[in-house]
Chains A and B, each alone.
Chain A
Amino acid sequence: MPQQSGRSSSYSKKAQFSVFTGYLVAAFGAALGAILLVLSFWKPDAMNGIRGAATDIVSPVGRGSAIARNGGQSLWQSIAGYWQAGYRNAQLEREVKEAHVRLAQEQALAAENARLKGLLGLREGEVKPIAYARLIGSSSASTRRLAYLSAGRDQGVQPGMPVRSPLGLVGRVLETGATSSRVLLLTDGASMVPVRRAKDDVVAFAEGRADGSLRLRLINLGINPLKKGDVFVTSGAGGLFRPGIAVAVVEDLTRDGAIALPTANPAATIHVAVDPMWEPQAQAVIDRPAPAANPATVGEDAK
């Protein structure tokens, strides 16, 4: 049947007027939306305050459901554990033996590292996380890849700080509210992280593709040296992320780089740590007078 929407023609001036006003206001709404859209491209952080406050208000809901997800997962894991006990035990024993060997190698490497750093006069400061928090949700209905974090300004979180899980880099803080913040995930189309191959110094940019994978763009073009399974870590360039955080594993080769999968899948990550920005520490290293610098060369560099 035809629906009555109060739009049927009428001799009532009032009815006609209210229908007309409705159209007018809806068109005005669309125009206002377009203006705000242009504004948010021009000044992307204009709405941060409102968004932060809104997320603060509803984040307890997300926090509750994140805890539920946590509990649900551990419940399933403990049930699954009974099924796989014997097989897992054998596997773990084998892995422990391998790990002992690896540990010895790592210790040797660490010792060598310390010796080399001692030679260079670098002092390694322990990076203490600013805050530990949960990922309480993500922009799952949008092509942007943002996540919501259950810590904000009150916990000392500031825009630009790297967010990482034990498995690797997750992203960086984009906006902060008082008790919650928005995280730009590595896989967002606007995210760009300078990385290098873990075993040598092949440098690249890891760019998000918004579908859960990253595109690695090599800086030095030529023959593509990458292989499937190569691990990439942050290079520390740019000053935001401290060097050496795992980022991605190469999955598919392309002409000028590779498609890689992030080591820390945000979907499987619950607890994350928010690190301070690397920049101040880099700045401290730069400010310290270089031990064996030739003043003349430094002067020339300055020119």
Chain B
Amino acid sequence: MSVETQMTATHRDRFGRTINRDHSPVLSQGVPLTTILVGSLTPLLPIVASGPVVPPLGFMLLLAWRIQRPGLLPMWIGLPLGAFDDLFSGQPFGCAIMLWSLALLALEAIETRFPWRGFWQDWATAAGLIVAYLAIGAIVADGHIELWRVPLVLPQVALGILLFPLVARLVAFFDRVRLIRVRHLD
């Protein structure tokens, strides 16, 4: 919290009153984790789908948080969050642990290589990772590769890529919620 934010004429900034209020550590750390965990619970939506149609929301939320707020989630977060996702996703256990950890490492490498990021680059990065995640996930789930199975994941890939900017906006909204000044400074 910088001095300027407290010294505005209205004593307010975009996160609320600045006098005697500060960000809550529970919210600022808990909101990202909660949104990703809830995203992992999509298999319990009342959609009994006859094919893989729902995009991997937990993974997309992880990507969006990591891209928008680098450094907020620790590098090892793929391990616990991936384990939770594996409990419900239907994939063999360990799939998300491995792929989420690898995705975080990949994002770190991409960020080092191309530090000046923008909307299109972020979208392209996320799209590439979603495609890789779904492709490897499909291979791991079935244990073998068959050509006729490729169209099977296409709707999911398309939905995942097209929905990513929306998920990113959602994360931007939750980022504001995360930083609301609710804590009293007494």
Verify if B25 is at the interface (C-beta below 8 Å from A).
Answer: no
**Contact of A27 with B105 at beta-carbon distance under 8 Å, contacts A54-B88, A146-B90 already known:** yes
Interface string of B67-103 (1 = CB under 8 A from A): 0001100111011001000111111111111111110
Verify if A86 is at the interface (C-beta below 8 Å from B).
Answer: no
Contact B43 A148 (CB under 8 A): yes
Verify if B152 is at the interface (C-beta below 8 Å from A).
Answer: yes
- Distance in angstroms between the alpha carbons of A135 and B41 in the assembled complex: 15
Q: B3-11, B12-20, B141-149, B166-174: which one contacts chain A? A: B141-149
Contact A37 B98 (CB under 8 A): yes
Across chains A and B, the number of contacting residue pairs, with CB separation under 8 Å, is 206
- Distance in angstroms between the alpha carbons of A137 and B108 in the assembled complex: 35
> From residue B123, how far is it (CB to closest CB) to chain A in Å?
15
Of A33, A58, A65, most B-chain CB atoms within 10 Å: A33
Partner of B87, one of A50, A59, A147: A50
- Distance in angstroms between the alpha carbons of A36 and B98 in the assembled complex: 9
How many A residues are at the interface, by size bracket? 35 or more
Partner of A36, one of B93, B100, B142: B93
B78 to chain A: which residues have CB within 8 Å? 26, 29-30, 33
> From residue A142, how far is it (CB to closest CB) to chain B in Å?
4
User: What is the interface of chain B mostly: helix, strand, loop, or mixed?
Assistant: helix
- Distance in angstroms between the alpha carbons of A143 and B95 in the assembled complex: 13
Contact A23 B47 (CB under 8 A): no
Of B46, B115, B143, most A-chain CB atoms within 10 Å: B46
**Contact of A211 with B50 at beta-carbon distance under 8 Å, contacts A3-B117, A5-B70 already known:** yes
- Distance in angstroms between the alpha carbons of A2 and B115 in the assembled complex: 5
- Distance in angstroms between the alpha carbons of A23 and B44 in the assembled complex: 33
Partner of B48, one of A46, A58, A68, A135: A135
> From residue A94, how far is it (CB to closest CB) to chain B in Å?
31
- B85, closest chain A residue (CB): A141
Verify if A51 is at the interface (C-beta below 8 Å from B).
Answer: yes
> From residue B6, how far is it (CB to closest CB) to chain A in Å?
22
- Distance in angstroms between the alpha carbons of A144 and B93 in the assembled complex: 12
**Contact of A39 with B156 at beta-carbon distance under 8 Å, contacts A29-B79, A139-B89 already known:** no
Of B48, B53, B57, most A-chain CB atoms within 10 Å: B48
A34 to chain B: which residues have CB within 8 Å? 94, 98
Contact B98 A265 (CB under 8 A): no
Partner of A140, one of B52, B93, B149, B151: B52
Contact B95 A33 (CB under 8 A): yes
Verify if A234 is at the interface (C-beta below 8 Å from B).
Answer: no
- Distance in angstroms between the alpha carbons of A177 and B56 in the assembled complex: 24
Contact B93 A210 (CB under 8 A): no
**A residues 132-184 touching B (CB-CB < 8 Å):** 135-148
- Distance in angstroms between the alpha carbons of A50 and B93 in the assembled complex: 11
Contact B46 A23 (CB under 8 A): no
- B52, closest chain A residue (CB): A143
Verify if B182 is at the interface (C-beta below 8 Å from A).
Answer: no
- Distance in angstroms between the alpha carbons of A30 and B87 in the assembled complex: 17
Contact B50 A267 (CB under 8 A): yes
> From residue B24, how far is it (CB to closest CB) to chain A in Å?
21
Verify if A6 is at the interface (C-beta below 8 Å from B).
Answer: yes
- Distance in angstroms between the alpha carbons of A136 and B98 in the assembled complex: 28
Contact A142 B141 (CB under 8 A): yes
Verify if A283 is at the interface (C-beta below 8 Å from B).
Answer: no
- Distance in angstroms between the alpha carbons of A143 and B153 in the assembled complex: 7
Kindly list 11 other residue pairs between chains A and B, CB separation below 8 angstroms, not including A44-B92, A140-B42, A148-B43: A7-B108, A25-B79, A33-B82, A40-B92, A58-B41, A69-B46, A137-B48, A144-B91, A144-B141, A211-B152, A267-B47
Interface residues of chain B, those whose CB is within 8 Å of chain A, are 41-57, 70-71, 74-76, 78-79, 82, 86-102, 104-105, 108, 111-112, 115-117, 137-138, 140-143, 149, 151-153, 156
Complex A-B: 5 CB contacts under 8 Å: A26-B104, A35-B94, A140-B52, A145-B51, A210-B52
